[in-house]
Amino acid sequence: MTSIQPTDAPKNVVLFGETAAELDVEPGLESCVSFRIARNAQDLKQALPGAHALICWEASEQPVRDALHHEDELAWIQWPFIGVDAVLPILQDKPNIVLTNASGVYDWPIAEYVLGLVLAMAKDLPATITMQSRCEWRFRETEMVEGRRALVVGVGGVGRAIAKLLKAVGMSVVGVGRRARPGDGTFSEIAAAADLSVKLPDADYVICAAPLTAETKGLFASTLFGRMKATARFINVGRGEIVDENALLAALQTGKLAAAALDVFETEPLPPESGLWGSSRVIVSPHMAGDVIDTTKRLQELFSRNLTSFLKGQALSNKVDVSLGYISRS
């Protein structure tokens, strides 16, 4: 990127979303940016011609897809989530647009959520809450998490944060990424995606934190669930379409899998008729693992840093490899 000069015309930056707000930039750069606020799809279509950057406060995918046909100078899109599968198709034909995601904003909150789910399943908290609602006093023993083995599928920012927290409570953690590589202090080992089925039988907890790509869509189906041990628990905080929900439910109902905790689903909201709602072996949450009280503030800080870099012609944080569908760290 070329650094902007004081004599240059301001860069037109579209801020899209009902909660869109102007961002802070480094002192001295205020005159280098002109903000356009687009609250809805129609605003966005009108704001994009002549715009140099699009910063999305909300991932309204269809309005963004439709409006991108109206852009003529766009150089950068900032997406408000880690997963970018919704916007990737249209960018395949727009190689001049840099796409960045919100990696780093959601990593630790999701990791904390996963740790909470692991502890909830090990300590049988769902049953405790159910018994409390019935005024039922029933003593029972629960499990330790120390010494248990976790397999984290997806070794990006979220996967690494999950591994750090699970390791902190005494679990051993193996990662699964695109290619095999040695352990690095966070993961005891990183296995190649091609070897996932080989690693599954040893895991007490299998955690999906992978992005949705052509390779991961429908990845967890009957074959992989059949490779897990009957006492294993499965957690998905990646993308719903990575999991065949019917196959998962069948594995739970036939005792081939002990329990599951799902925060993402093939269809969201999860339809009332889904068998996942009524299963005592499943914890269902509404795609909320990464959202915390100060998420908006954390996004604003990331957006502001990246906008300053954009105006100064510097490299942007969290650049997505559009051909892969995620940030390439190799």
**Residues 133 and 197 reside in one and the same domain:** yes
Tens of pLDDT, residue by residue over 60-92, are 889 998 999 899 999 999 999 999 998 998 898
Domain contains 316: no
Domain contains 320: no
How is 239-292 classified by DSSP, letter by letter?
A: -GGGB-HHHHHHHHHTTSS-EEEES--SSSSPPTT-HHHH-TTEEE--S-TT--
Q: Which member of 160, 239, 245, 281 is catalytic? A: 239
Which pLDDT belongs to residue 330?
61
**Residues 255 and 211 reside in one and the same domain:** yes
Measured at the CA of 112, the angle between CA 103 and CA 128, to 5 degrees, comes to: 150
Domain contains 326: no
Q: Which member of 73, 136, 268, 329 is catalytic? A: 268
- Asked if 20 and 53 touch (Cβ cutoff 8 Å), the reply is no
**Residues 193 and 76 reside in one and the same domain:** no
Quote the number of domains for the chain: 2
Average pLDDT over residues 280-286: 97
Tens of pLDDT, residue by residue over 175-202, are 999 999 998 999 999 999 999 999 999 9
**Residues 42 and 123 reside in one and the same domain:** no
Which pLDDT belongs to residue 176?
98
**Residues 115 and 96 reside in one and the same domain:** no
Q: Tell me how far apart the alpha carbons of residues 313 and 137 are, in angstroms, rounded to a whole number.
A: 64
For 244, the domain range is 107-284
**Residues 18 and 134 reside in one and the same domain:** no
Domain contains 113: yes
134 in active site: no
**Residues 122 and 246 reside in one and the same domain:** yes
**Residues 19 and 118 reside in one and the same domain:** no
pTM of the model: 0.95
**Residues 99 and 114 reside in one and the same domain:** no
22 in active site: no
3-class secondary-structure state, position 77: strand
Q: Tell me how far apart the alpha carbons of residues 179 and 185 are, in angstroms, rounded to a whole number.
A: 17
Domain contains 319: no
**Residues 181 and 280 reside in one and the same domain:** yes
281 in active site: no
CATH number, domain containing residue 195: 3.40.50.720
Which of 265, 284, 303 is the last residue before a domain boundary?
284
Domain contains 152: yes
Q: Which member of 287, 298, 301, 305 is catalytic? A: 287
